[in-house]
Amino acid sequence: MAILKILQYPDDRLHKVAAPVTEVTETIRKLISDMAETMYAAPGVGLAATQVDVHQRILVADTSEEGNKLMVFINPEIISKSGESDLEEGCLSVPGIYEKVQRFENITVKALNDRGECFMLDASGLLSVCIQHEMDHLLGKVFVDYLSPLKQTRIKNKLKKRRRETM
């Protein structure tokens, strides 16, 4: 197992669009276990492959209280969605920034698990928001892209300043 480096916003690589996984191989399973370790160590409730500079449609999530319910989604697709949610979101690629984002409250996701088997899952609340946030990463989208240009500039400046002061 290994802890992977998480790309930090702004970084052009966070805007790459991930390609579908064609076969769930041992290499993919190794990546997934490293992504899980990286997410738990951060700590975070989700992680998309894009954030570790792997541009394939893979995400991991664990929104359980105890942090013992790892979920793996390969080639995820949202097949139904309803309701509205506006939770305050954070992102491991945008540390220390929290903003509300409009999302669907309920989603049904279809994906492959780490054995390459197809499954469906109904999600609501934080898990639903987390999956939508991670699926955006796979499309090259970061939650700050939804904010006003003024807020985006402020966030970039804040992160630059913080990096100057801590490096």
The contact set with Ni ion (CB under 5 A) reads 91
If one asks whether residue 47 binds ligand GNR (CB under 6 A), the answer comes out as yes
Smallest gap, in angstroms, from Cβ of residue 39 to Ni ion?
Answer: 10
Q: Which of 65, 66, 99, 134 is catalytic?
A: 134
Smallest gap, in angstroms, from Cβ of residue 136 to ligand GNR?
Answer: 8
Contact 35, 46 (CB under 8 A): no
If one asks whether residue 44 binds ligand GNR (CB under 6 A), the answer comes out as yes
Across-strand partners of 27? none
Q: Which residue is nearest to Ni ion (CB)?
A: 91
* Among the listed residues 133, 135, 138, 155, the single contact to ligand GNR using CB under 6 A: 133
SS3 43: coil
Q: Which partner, ligand GNR, Ni ion, none, binds residue 57 by CB below 5 to 8 Å per kind?
A: none
Strand order in the sheet with 118-124: 46-48, 58-61, 71-82, 106-112, 118-124
d(CA 79, CA 7): 29
Structure tokens at 156: 């970039």
H-run or E-run covering 122: strand 118-124
* Among the listed residues 7, 28, 45, 60, the single contact to ligand GNR using CB under 6 A: 45
Contact 59, 143 (CB under 8 A): no
Is 26 in the active site? no
Smallest gap, in angstroms, from Cβ of residue 95 to ligand GNR?
Answer: 9
Q: Which residue is nearest to ligand GNR (CB)?
A: 44
- Distance set, CA 9 to CA 12, 93, 130 (Å): 8, 6, 18
If one asks whether residue 129 binds ligand GNR (CB under 6 A), the answer comes out as yes
Sign of the alpha-carbon torsion through 35, 40, 43, 48:
positive
Residue whose CB is less far from ligand GNR, 70 or 116 = 70
Annotated catalytic residues are 134
Give the footprint of ligand GNR on this chain (CB under 6 A). Answer: 44-48, 51, 87, 89-93, 129-130, 133-134, 137
